[in-house]
Amino acid sequence: MTHKVFIDGAVGTTGLEIAERLTGRAEFELIVLDEARRKQDAARAEALNAADFVILCLPDDAAREAVAMIANLHTRVIDASTAHRVAAGWTYGFPEITGRDAVAGALRVSNPGCYSTGFIALLAPLVRAGLLPADWPYTCNAVSGYSGGGKALIARFEADGDIAWRGYALNLGHKHVPEMQALSGLAHAPLFTPAVIPAHRGMVVEIPLPLGAMAGMGPGKGPGMGSTDAFRAALTEFYAGSPVVSVSQEPPADGELLLRASMEPWDGLELHVLASADGSQARLVAGLDNLGKGASGAAVQSLNLMAGLDETAGLRL
């Protein structure tokens, strides 16, 4: 069976990479509008309603408008914007966290944010298992390739070769924070400090844990606390059998993790649990491609499940 897919916003970075992952796949037929028609509401509405699956790669307001144009009960939507990530009636498109069956059966799926993917992947399983408290004020430090910032940011980075680091969301109002809090089951919004570096793609997300202070009685001895070995074991069990998420069992031999500017497209997600010698401090670290599992790869994974296909079809793993 061939499924008709319309990517609304197909000329943006996320849309282009989704289309690349669908190219040559007989399971899908892309509905494509030419340059003039893709900006016409009537043409877009026709495509939105003719499709079996719609993938929205649009700004938030435009994504809401696109959903409102759908006048039938069969067109299923994956929204890569922020508009619906914590909205009622939408399923969060992180199958490893929300469940593959939930994503497979959903009419409306919100694609996770790139930073949120790393944060939630690390923290949600440990909070659910009672190994970390839900009411701790967590912090999250992260760096990303500049491609996640859209065409304007890409142009600025590529035009100015002197930028080495760009900190942003300095007002602490980053749009990913609501989903990070909600999907991890936290009582408090995390303090999130993102930055962009001069690499086209790639991302590292870190959650530092002062375990001694968190337990109040030394590492691993307070209520709702666990050891770093327990964290690693719990994450390994949680993602057992996942073809996308892996958990490193040993710290890097040289004590370093690298994010290379030459990174190739990748749809996987690698998690690390790192600890101080006395166990009083830990670092939970996620490595991913912000355009892969952090955007386009995640959308294709959800699309595969919704279409009843192998979730890894077309992915770069």
- Active-site residues, by number, are 114
Q: What angle do CA 257, 258, 259 make, to 5 degrees?
A: 135
Non-local (6+) Cβ contacts of 44 within 8 A are: 8, 33, 37, 38, 66, 69
Q: What angle do CA 201, 26, 309 make, to 5 degrees?
A: 75
- Tokens in use for 264? 């190739």
State how far the Cα of 174 lies from the Cα of 41, in Å rounded to an integer: 30
Phi, psi at 20, each rounded to 5°: -60, -40
- Tokens in use for 49? 């309603």
CA atoms within 13 A on the CB side of 232: 14
State how far the Cα of 210 lies from the Cα of 220, in Å rounded to an integer: 11
